[in-house]
Amino acid sequence: MAKKKKKKAIAAPAPQKKAPSKKAPMRAPASKKRKKAPPTMRAEMAISDWWGRLGIGEYSSREWGRLGILAIGLGVILLYAFSAGGYFVVRRGYGELILLWLIVVGVLFDLRVRGRMPRIGYIELGLFAGYTLLAGLTVLWSLQPARSFDEFVRGLLYIAGFGIGWMFLQRRQWLGWLGHLFIVIVLIACIDGLIGKTFPDLLTHPDPFQSNRLNYPLTYWNTMAVFVSMGFIIALRTISDRATSLLVRCLYTPPMLVFLVVLWFTFSRAGLLMLAAAICAYLYLASSRLRAVMQTGILAVWTGFIVLICYKFLPNMVASVPDDKLKVSEGHKLALTIVLFMGIAVASQFAIRWLEDRVEVPKDLGRKIGYAIAGSTALFLMVAILGFTFSGGRGGPFTYVKNQLAASETERTTLEQAPTERLFSLQSERFQEYGVSITSMKDHPFGIGAGTWQSAWLMHRPWEIQVKNGHSWFFQSLAEEGLIGGLLVLAFIAAFFVAAIKDLRFLGKGRQRELYGAFFVAGAMMVLHSTIDWDWEMPVIMLAFFMFAGMLLRYGQLARTGQDTAEESGRSVRKVVAPGWRRFVGLNWLIGAVCVVAMLATLPPIIAASKVQSANALAQKQDYAALEKQAQSAQTWSPWDAEPLVLQALATQGLGRIDDAERLLDEARKKEPENDKTYRNQTRVYLQQYQNAKQRGDAAAMDAYLVKASNAVYEAFRLNPLESRETGDLTQQVKNIGGLKFE
C-alpha cells in the first residue's frame, strides 16, 4: 500500500492588534484622570472641554469684541421691552444712543468685518436709507415738523440695528447663540407679563384699555403677540433638531409653552394667524419636519388644555370685565396650572426621545404623517369655526361675515367684545384708517409729513375715536411720505425677501438652512404684520427685525465665501475678502463720524421731549413760573416744535400776561398751521381778551376779538370736525357773547 502523504501543517495566523477606535480616542483615560483630579480642576477640565466643542477656545479678542457688540445690541431689545416697547421718544432715544455708540466702538477698534456688502444688501440698505432721508426731508413741508424729524431719527435707529447685525457677525454659529439670547429676552418679558396676570395682588401692571388682555410690559397686545411668536419660531428650530440634547429640549419646553400661553392671553387675532402661517413656512424650509410638527402639536395640545381649564373653571382669566376679587384667586390657580403643564410638557420630551431612538420613520412616511397631521388640524379648525358661527343665533358663516362687515361700517365695538367673540370677529376700524391714508395721499401726493398721520385721521375720520397711528407701515407711509414713501416700503420688503430666498437656495438642505430659515421666518412674519399694524412705532420688534435682516445678509455672505472658517489675519483672509475694499481709505472713520452725527441728531429730541414731559407735569400743578422756564428750555432744544410755545402761552396766561400768550400762540400757529389744538387755545385767549376789552369798555377791541375767536374756533372745527367736547363748548361760548362773526 502506498503511504499517504502528510499534509503540511498550516501555521496559525499571528494575533493582530486591534485597530484603535475612531470614536472618541483617549476618552476613558481622560475620564479617569478627571475623577482623580480635585473638584476645581475637574470643573476647569469640563469647561475647557465644553468650550472646545463649541470652538470658543480658538476665538481671538477681536472676535469676542464683535460677539459682545451683537449681544449688547440685542440687549437693547430687552430695554425696549420694559420701556413701553420703545414707543416714546425719550425711552427710544437711549437705546438708539447705545447702538450708535456700539458701532463707534467697533470701528474705533477696527472690529467690523471687512469685505464688501453684497449687491442685494446695498439695494436693501439704499432703499431704507432713502425712505429715512425722505422722512427727514418732509420736515420742510410737514404739518408738524418736530414729529417728522423724530421719525427721521427713528429710521436712523433701525439703520443702526441693520448695521450692527451685518458689520459684526464674524461666524455663522453666532447666529444660533444670538437666537438663544433672543429667546431669553422674550422669556423675561413673558414671565413679567404672566406674573402680573396670575399674581395681581403682588405685581400690578397698568391696563390702559381695561380689556383684560395681556399686553405688559410692551403695553400693546398685538406687539406682544408678534414678539412671543418670533421667539417661538426661533426656539422651534432648536427643539426640533435631532442633534439637540435631551437636556436642552427639556430646558426649552417650558419657555415655549409660556410663549403659547402668553400669545393666547393677548387675544390677538393677527398674532395667532401670523404664528400659524410662520409655523407652516418654517415646516416648508425645515428638513426635520416631522419632529417640528410633533413638538408644535404637543405644545399646542397642552396649551389647549390650559385654555379649556380657564374657560371651564377660571372664567375671570378670559372675561373682558373680570371680578377683581375672583381675579386674584383664579390667577393663583392659573399659575399652578401652568406650572403643572410645564412639567407634563417636559415629560413629553422623554417620550419623544424614546420614540426617536426606537422608531425610524422613512422620509415618504414622515411626509405622509405630516400631511395627515396638518390636514386634521385644518379640519379641526374648520369645524370649530363652523360650530361657532352656527351657535348662539349667529346664522352660519355667511350671515355672520355679513353682519360683522356691516357693523364695521357703522361703529367700533371691538374692545367691548368678549375675548372668544373677538377672536372670530371681523370688526375693526383698520379699513377706515386705510381709506383715510389713501384719501390723504390723493390730497397731498408728497405726503403731509412723517409722523403726522393723526392730523389726516382727525380731518377725515368717520366717527369720533382717537387713533394716533395708521395701523399699517405701508398705508401710513402713503399718507405721510406720499406715493414715493409707500413704494420705498414695498421695494425694501421685496428686496429683503429676494435676498433671503437667494441665500436659502444656496444653503440647500441641512441645519444651516434651518437656522437661517427660523430667523428669516421670524423676521418675515414681523415685517408682514407691520403692513396691518403700527409696528413701525414699536422698536422692540422692528429693531429685532432689522438686526435679523443684517445678520441674515452677513450669514449668507459668510456661507458663500467661507470667511468665518479662515484665520482672522494672514493671506487666507486676504484671499477671501472681496478685492477693492482697501480703496476706501478711512472707511472706519467715515462710519464712526456718521454715527457721531446721528448721535448728535438724536440728543435734541430726547432733551426736548423730556422737558416737555416735565412741563406738562408742572402745568397740572399750575406752577406757571416753573412751567414757563421749562417750556422755554424745551423750545431751545426743539425750535421747530409748536408744543413748547403752547405751554409757554399757558404759563403766561396763568401769570396774567395775556398779550404774551396771544403772541406765543400766533407763533405756534405759524409753525403748525394744521393743529386744531392750537386754534382751540387761541379761542380761549381771544375770549379772555374779549372780557378784558369789555371791562375797559372798548367796543372796537371787543368786536375784533370776537371775530378772531370765531375764526379760530372755525379752523379748529375744520381740522377736527367730529371733535365734540372742547370745540363744541368753545363754539357755544362764542355764540353766547355775540354769535359767530368772521372776517
- Dump the DSSP string for 339-387: HHHHHHHHHHHHHHHHHHHH----HHHHHHHHHHHHHHHHHHHHHHHHH
- Give the pLDDT band of residue 582 (cuts 50, 70, 90): very low
Least confident range of 395-404, 423-432, 517-526: 395-404
Is residue 257 within 8 A of residue 346, CB to CB? The reply is no
Which pLDDT does position 111 carry in this prediction?
Answer: 86
Q: What are the angstrom distances between the C-alpha of 134 and each of 100, 117, 165, 436, 485?
A: 21, 23, 24, 21, 7
Which pLDDT does position 331 carry in this prediction?
Answer: 94
Which pLDDT does position 375 carry in this prediction?
Answer: 74
- Give the pLDDT band of residue 431 (cuts 50, 70, 90): confident
Most confident of 221-225, 285-289, 697-701, 720-724: 221-225
Percent of the chain at pLDDT > 90 equals 63
Which pLDDT does position 629 carry in this prediction?
Answer: 95
Cell numbers for 166: 451685518
Please give the DSSP secondary-structure letter assigned to residue 84.
G
Least confident range of 49-53, 436-440, 510-514, 724-728: 49-53
Least confident range of 269-283, 288-302, 377-391, 656-670: 377-391
Given a cut of 80, whether residue 248 has pLDDT beyond it is yes
Residue 121 maps to a domain: no
Residue 156 maps to a domain: no
Residue 661 maps to a domain: yes
Higher-scoring residue by pLDDT: 409, 669: 669
Given a cut of 90, whether residue 509 has pLDDT beyond it is no
Q: How far apart are CA 227 and CA 211, in angstroms?
A: 20
Other C-beta atoms within 10 Å of 207: how many?
16
Dihedral angle over CA of 652, 653, 656, 661, nearest 10: 70
Given a cut of 50, whether residue 585 has pLDDT beyond it is no
Of 176, 374, 380, 179, the closest CA to residue 290 belongs to: 374
- Give the pLDDT band of residue 39 (cuts 50, 70, 90): low
Which pLDDT does position 662 carry in this prediction?
Answer: 94
Is residue 278 within 8 A of residue 522, CB to CB? The reply is yes
pLDDT (average), residues 711-717: 92
Mean pLDDT of the chain: 85
pLDDT (average), residues 504-524: 92
Which pLDDT does position 579 carry in this prediction?
Answer: 40
Given a cut of 80, whether residue 570 has pLDDT beyond it is no
- 370: number of CA atoms within 13 Å, CB side? 21
Higher-scoring residue by pLDDT: 572, 79: 79
Which pLDDT does position 725 carry in this prediction?
Answer: 82
Which pLDDT does position 25 carry in this prediction?
Answer: 44
Q: Which residues span the domain enclosing 633?
A: 604-738
Given a cut of 90, whether residue 275 has pLDDT beyond it is yes
Task: Please state whether the peptide bond connecting residue 397 to the residue before it is cis, i.e. omega within 30 degrees of 0.
Answer: no
Cell numbers for 52: 472646545
Residue 397 maps to a domain: no
Residue 32 maps to a domain: no
Given a cut of 90, whether residue 411 has pLDDT beyond it is no
pLDDT (average), residues 548-558: 95
Which pLDDT does position 584 carry in this prediction?
Answer: 42
Which pLDDT does position 569 carry in this prediction?
Answer: 38
Which pLDDT does position 563 carry in this prediction?
Answer: 67
Given a cut of 60, whether residue 321 has pLDDT beyond it is yes
Which pLDDT does position 575 carry in this prediction?
Answer: 38
pLDDT (average), residues 29-38: 53
pLDDT (average), residues 678-696: 93
Higher-scoring residue by pLDDT: 430, 390: 430
Which pLDDT does position 429 carry in this prediction?
Answer: 82
- Give the pLDDT band of residue 319 (cuts 50, 70, 90): confident
Q: How far apart are CA 106 and CA 168, in angstroms?
A: 8
Which pLDDT does position 55 carry in this prediction?
Answer: 54
Number of structural domains (the chain) is: 1
182-192 burial: b if 16+ Cβ within 10 Å, else e:
bbebbbebbeb
Given a cut of 70, whether residue 30 has pLDDT beyond it is no
pLDDT (average), residues 676-693: 93
Least confident range of 53-67, 125-139, 387-401, 426-440: 387-401
Which pLDDT does position 288 carry in this prediction?
Answer: 81
Residue 633 maps to a domain: yes
584-604 burial: b if 16+ Cβ within 10 Å, else e:
eeeebeebbebbeebbebbeb
Other C-beta atoms within 10 Å of 388: how many?
16
Residue 239 maps to a domain: no
Cell numbers for 727: 370745540
Which pLDDT does position 181 carry in this prediction?
Answer: 97
Q: How far apart are CA 204 and CA 225, in angstroms?
A: 20
Is residue 108 within 8 A of residue 213, CB to CB? The reply is no
Which pLDDT does position 101 carry in this prediction?
Answer: 96
Burial class, 655, CB count within 10 angstroms (exposed 0-12 / middle 13-18 / buried 19+):
middle
Higher-scoring residue by pLDDT: 446, 399: 446
Q: What is the pLDDT of residues 172-223, one digit of tens each?
A: 999 999 999 999 999 999 999 999 999 988 877 777 777 788 999 999 999 9
Give the CATH number of the domain where residue 619 resides: 1.25.40.10
Cell numbers for 227: 414678539
Residue type, 222: N
- Dump the DSSP string for 202-271: T-----TT-S----TTTT-HHHHHHHHHHHHHHHHHHHT-TTS-HHHHHHHHHHHHHHHHHHHHHT-HHH
Residue 33 maps to a domain: no
pLDDT (average), residues 130-154: 95
